[in-house]
Chains A and B, each alone.
Chain A
Amino acid sequence: SQELEQSPQSLIVQEGKNLTINCTSSKTLYGLYWYKQKYGEGLIFLMMLQKGGEEKSHEKITAKLDEKKQQSSLHITASQPSHAGIYLCGATDIPRLGTYKYIFGTGTRLKVLA
């Protein structure tokens, strides 16, 4: 079965610094999702990547999927305290839209110091 590994497990950065979170799969990814979770809340959808080499941005967050579709990175530029939370990658390895069997990484806990 597919597994997703995230690194680092936790991260503390000073406000204004850039940071990168990685998500690595043991199998080819056919859909890679990034979510943010705050304590006591559900997951908030950030971005979805499907094509090798694809890159998407939303405000100061950029996500990329490598050409081999086995690794994704999430990059935050000029971090702010509002970026703090747990970032989770989720994926499916079934090459068909609409599959329901998603798996998630263990998350990266981000703290941004003001």
Chain B
Amino acid sequence: GAGVSQSPRYKVAKRGQDVALRCDPISGHVSLFWYQQALGQGPEFLTYFQNEAQLDKSGLPSDRFFAERPEGSVSTLKIQRTQQEDSAVYLCASRVREGQETQYFGPGTRLLVL
């Protein structure tokens, strides 16, 4: 595709609801990243995939957060039993391969938990 796309762009959830955020990386990109960006802050690393393998999930805030990329392309970030502190913009980025530094970011999903 032309760029990284994410859906939905906006999501309002009631506290306790489960949500699923989708990321479509640039076609052929091996590396995929998820970040969380709180209001007025820079993005914070959540997790990293190389193809379908999740190589690092150390940034996930709690066990309510789960990410997958089963076929090495589309990725889903799932948040169970959402809490108000989960409200943030969730950014996805992809990179051509390991060894290629430039990350290309999607527009993000803005999550608001009421």
* B108 in contact (CB, < 8 A): yes
Question: What is the interface residue range for chain A against chain B?
Answer: 20 to 34
**Contact residues, A70-104 vs B (CB, 8 A):** 88, 90, 97-98, 100-104
Q: Which residues of B contact A102 (CB under 8 A)?
A: 33, 45, 103
* B interface size (C-beta, 8 A): 27
Tell me which of A42, A103, A107 contacts B105 (CB under 8 A): A42
Determine whether the beta carbon of A41 is less than 8 Å from that of B108: yes
Determine whether the beta carbon of B108 is less than 8 Å from that of A42: yes
| A43→B3 CA distance, assembly (Å) | 12
**Chain B: CB-nearest residue to A96:** B99
| A104→B105 CA distance, assembly (Å) | 14
Nearest CB on B from A41, distance (A): 5
Determine whether the beta carbon of A106 is less than 8 Å from that of B4: no
Query: Do A100 and B33 form a contact, CB below 8 Å, given A42-B91, A42-B106?
Result: yes
